[in-house]
Amino acid sequence: MSATNPAPWSSSYRLVAAEKWKAKSAMLGSAVTEALVEYAEPAPNMCVLDLASGTGEPGISLTQRVGPRGSVMAVDQSSELLAIATERARNKGLANFAVQQADAHHLPFADRSFDLATCRFGVMFFSKAEQALKELRRVLKPGARACFVAWGSMEQPYWQSTMKIIHRHVGGNMLEPGGADPFRFADAGSLAEVLSAAGFDEVEEASRILPWTWLGEAEEVFEYACAVAAPFRPMLERVKADDWPIIRAKAIAAIELYRVEDEIRFTARVVLASGKA
């Protein structure tokens, strides 16, 4: 991160950030990953599809749960992020973890191929959510569950001490109208509604508050948040170079309020939802 601009938005910057922060970001999201895996109830020998898998979670955790006779197919649009996922799985000796670059709206799999599907912080970014969920239902076996975790509202510690502080300074739109929105399914029942519209049965939804912990410094949190928050890119690009030190100082002060010894202990309000094909 430069002294002026923490987000030089080159095409490869998110990949660089994912590699740089892979250990700390894994810890940051570990409670959410664990919650989704437990919610999905993977069983030995299952064939699992993990959508928007990115650098590998929860796919890798699911692979460990389904055992050597089960399998996990991790799907993402980014082949670069999937390469990191492949390396992580290889390092854990997981031969039954595979990756496939694909768009969730057009899955390259046969009908009724999977026993379970998961998606961690991805469903909010499907441009045509109902279409993507219908496509997901197509590749699931009858009665198989699809399980999702999405962000709750923006009014929570992590976002308020990072993106909200930047927005207070620059004004304008925090997110582009009609663009990617991490909080698309924050309203109670909204994700369940789309699942039902896509033809899923026994749809359920619940809100949870989970740990969201960064092991390290407040400035690292701010750098990481700016590096990976692609939906906020237009707002970040409006920040003048001379204003970054002021914004950073305010953000770090806000983040430090959540420090406990050597950890920044936020909480994350998330939505868990599922339905049966």
Residue 84 lies in a domain: yes
Residue 5 lies in a domain: no
Residue 195 lies in a domain: yes
Q: Answer whether 75's CB lies under 8 Å from 117's CB.
A: no
Peptide bond just before 44 cis, omega within 30 deg = no
Tokens read off for 100: 């496939």
C-alpha 269/C-alpha 252 separation (Å) is: 21
* pLDDT score for 229: 84
Q: Nearest-CA neighbor of 152 among 237, 104, 199, 212?
A: 212
Q: Nearest-CA neighbor of 122 among 139, 146, 157, 94?
A: 146
Residue 2 lies in a domain: no
CATH number for the domain harbouring residue 143: 3.40.50.150
* pLDDT score for 26: 82
Residue 6 lies in a domain: no
Where does residue 219 fall: left (phi above 0), alpha (psi -120 to 50 degrees), or beta otherwise? alpha
* pLDDT score for 64: 95
Tokens read off for 74: 């991790």
**Per the structure, how many domains does the chain have?**
1
Residue 3 lies in a domain: no
* pLDDT score for 7: 39
Residue 4 lies in a domain: no
User: At 47, phi and psi to the nearest 5?
Assistant: -105, 115
Q: Answer whether 132's CB lies under 8 Å from 197's CB.
A: no
Terminal CA-to-CA distance of the chain, rounded, Å?
A: 45
Q: Give me the average pLDDT of each 10-residue run along the chain (277 residues).
A: 37 60 84 98 98 94 96 94 92 95 96 98 95 98 98 97 97 93 97 98 98 95 90 94 96 98 96 98
* pLDDT score for 15: 61
pTM summary value:
0.91
Query: Is 167 in a helix, a strand, or coil?
Result: helix
* pLDDT score for 18: 63
Q: Which domain holds residue 50?
A: 13-276
Residue 27 lies in a domain: yes
* pLDDT score for 20: 74
